[in-house]
Homo-oligomer: A and B are copies of this chain.
Amino acid sequence: MMKIIEGGICAAKGFTANGIHCGIRKNKLKRDLSLIVSEVPASAAAVYTTNLVKGAPLTVTKQHLADGKAQAVVCNSGNANTCNANGIEVAEQMSKLTADALQISANDVVVASTGVIGQPLDITPIKNGIPALVAGLGNNSDAAAEGIMTTDTVKKEIAVSFEIDGVECKIGGIAKGSGMIHPNMATMLVFITTDCAISSQLLQKALSTDIQSTFNMVSVDGDTSTNDMVTILANGMAGNAEITTENEAFSIFMQALNTVTVYLCKGIAGDGEGATKLIECTVCGASDEKTAKTVAKSVICSSLTKAAMFGADANWGRVLCAIGYSGATVDVNAVDVSFVSPAGQIAVCKNGAGIEFSEELAKEILLEKEITIAVNLNSGTATATAWGCDLTYDYVKINGDYRT
């Protein structure tokens, strides 16, 4: 019943978007300002980074979403508007300029910024760009997805349709995220739109629950960003009866949301800075979910494991090492490890000790673009999945001189 559709954040009824180059970035071919607008005010929910250093836009957005409503999202790339003395002022100006152009209240604008930290953000290019940004609003999810990219190499965009009580609803999302990404925080910029009618409270509940097993299970480099957030707008234009309790319709909505978020998670992890492959770690047989999550995250965060995956080296000892220092209580003598990819699967460790395996097959498996490190703790029934990427020369190259 649920199916993947085209249209990204413009798939849901009543949403338009756009993305332009306004001049924050030097490269004129790179869009740097995006806008998403709902025809009518929408329920809105968000989760924010747990970093104590927070981008000024997050503070302003949090105030604007206090009433659970929003109608537009404006986001620039190229500058994070963080650690600047005038940051709040600039974020408020961005909201106000957007609101005025759309003839809505500034309080209904979600504002976000991403890019370098600690360099004042000049409002002038944004001010000059907003008329064109608004004039070009339409079925332009692609352009909006491009406008929020930083070191991302591919757009992350998806939409799905689903049915609630016979009414077709749609939900779509775009994401940016490539570096400064780490679990257990709202880690990246993700904007989701849906025409499903759902109350602000349940929208927040759906989002806060979902991210526990999706965006909080993604790590690129262990650095938790100052600016990241996940926002969802639900404008109710699909016409279903508004979801106000945790009924079956809520479950269906949660499933659709999860399809969007898992897709975006994989997109973010696989496009991690410098990454050549997506690394998924699945943990089963855990005594409880917390243990499963802790172990899965520790494995995908291990620099040594990530470097081994880059080299297609079946160095499973590093996986065991990362399990051992994860902080979870694990019987390390019961752990099994396998590597899985489209090229096949191979068991490399049984009961915490190495077993004989074909290095040639292991190499073939690890040369693929999507690798799963499958861990069985053999101590229970809880499971978890985390997503990351390999550690490569290009990660160092990209980050050795990011500001210039």
Contact of A223 among B226, B322, B397 (CB under 8 A): B322
- Check A83/B52 contact, CB under 8 A, given A223-B325, A304-B179: no
B352 and A83 form a contact (CB under 8 A): yes
- Residue A349, interface by CB 8 Å: yes
Q: Known contacts A83-B354, A393-B393, A397-B393; is A224 also within 8 Å of B311 by CB?
A: no
Could you say how many copies of this chain the assembly holds?
2
Q: Is the CB of B313 within 8 A of A402?
A: yes
If A221-B303, A352-B53, A352-B83 touch, whether A396 touches B399 (CB-CB below 8 Å) is no
A97 at the interface (CB under 8 A from B): no
Chain B hits for A397, CB < 8 A: 393
Contacting residue for A116 out of B82, B303, B317, CB 8 A: B317
Which of B185, B303, B318 lies in contact with A117, CB distance below 8 A? B318
Report how far A401 CA is from B325 CA in the complex, Å.
22
For the complex, count residues of A whose C-beta is within 8 A of B: 63
A395 CB within 8 Å of chain B? yes
The interface residues of chain B lying within 8 Å CB-to-CB of A50 are 325
Most buried by B among A82, A224, A325, A354: A325
Q: Known contacts A303-B223, A393-B393; decide if A118 and B349 are in contact (CB<8 Å).
A: yes
A226 to B397, CA, bound (A): 30
- B residues less than 8 Å from A330 (CB atoms): 52
Cα distance A53–B82 in the bound complex, in angstroms: 41
Is there contact, CB below 8 Å, between B402 and A308?
Answer: yes
Q: Mark A386-404, 1 if CB is under 8 A from B, else 0.
A: 0000011101111111111
Given contacts A354-B118, A400-B307, contact A180 B83 (CB under 8 A): no
CB pair B352 A303 closer than 8 Å = no
The residues of B that contact A119 with a CB separation of less than 8 Å are 354
Give the interface SS of chain A, mostly helix, strand, loop or mixed: loop
A304 contacts across to B, CB distance below 8 A: 179-180, 221, 223, 399
Minimal beta-carbon separation of A64 from chain B (angstroms) = 22
* Cβ-neighbour of A400 out of B224, B310, B332 (below 8 A): B310
A353 / chain B contacts, CB cutoff of 8 Å: 83-85, 118
| A310 neighbours in B (Cβ, 8 Å) | 396, 400
Contact with B along A183-217 (1 / 0, CB 8 A): 00100000000000000000000000000000000
A315 at the interface (CB under 8 A from B): yes
- Any B CB within 8 A of the CB of A40: no
Query: Is A324's beta carbon under 8 Å from chain B?
Result: yes
Q: Are the C-beta atoms of A396 and B391 separated by less than 8 Å?
A: yes
Q: Which residues of B contact A354 (CB under 8 A)?
A: 83-84, 118-120
Q: Which of B52, B118, B313, B395 contacts A324 (CB 8 A)?
A: B52
Tell me whether A317 and B396 are in contact in the complex, defined as CB-CB below 8 angstroms, given that A226-B324, A330-B52 are known contacts. Answer: no
Q: Is A42 located at the chain interface by the 8 A CB criterion? A: no
**6 nearest interchain CB pairs?**
A117-B317, A311-B400, A53-B324, A307-B399, A224-B325, A118-B317
Beyond known contacts A222-B303, A303-B303: 12 more, CB 8 A cutoff: A51-B321, A53-B332, A118-B317, A118-B349, A180-B321, A225-B321, A308-B399, A308-B400, A308-B402, A310-B400, A313-B400, A313-B403
Please name 26 pairs of A and B residues whose Cβ atoms are closer than 8 Å in the assembled complex, sorted by A. A52-B323, A52-B332, A53-B320, A53-B324, A53-B332, A83-B349, A83-B353, A116-B315, A116-B317, A117-B315, A117-B317, A118-B353, A180-B304, A182-B325, A185-B325, A221-B303, A222-B222, A222-B303, A223-B304, A223-B321, A226-B320, A304-B399, A307-B396, A313-B403, A393-B393, A393-B397
Residues on A lying within 8 angstroms of B by beta carbon are 50-54, 80, 82-85, 116-120, 179-180, 182, 185, 221-226, 301-304, 307-308, 310-311, 313, 315-318, 320-325, 330, 332, 349, 352-354, 391-393, 395-404
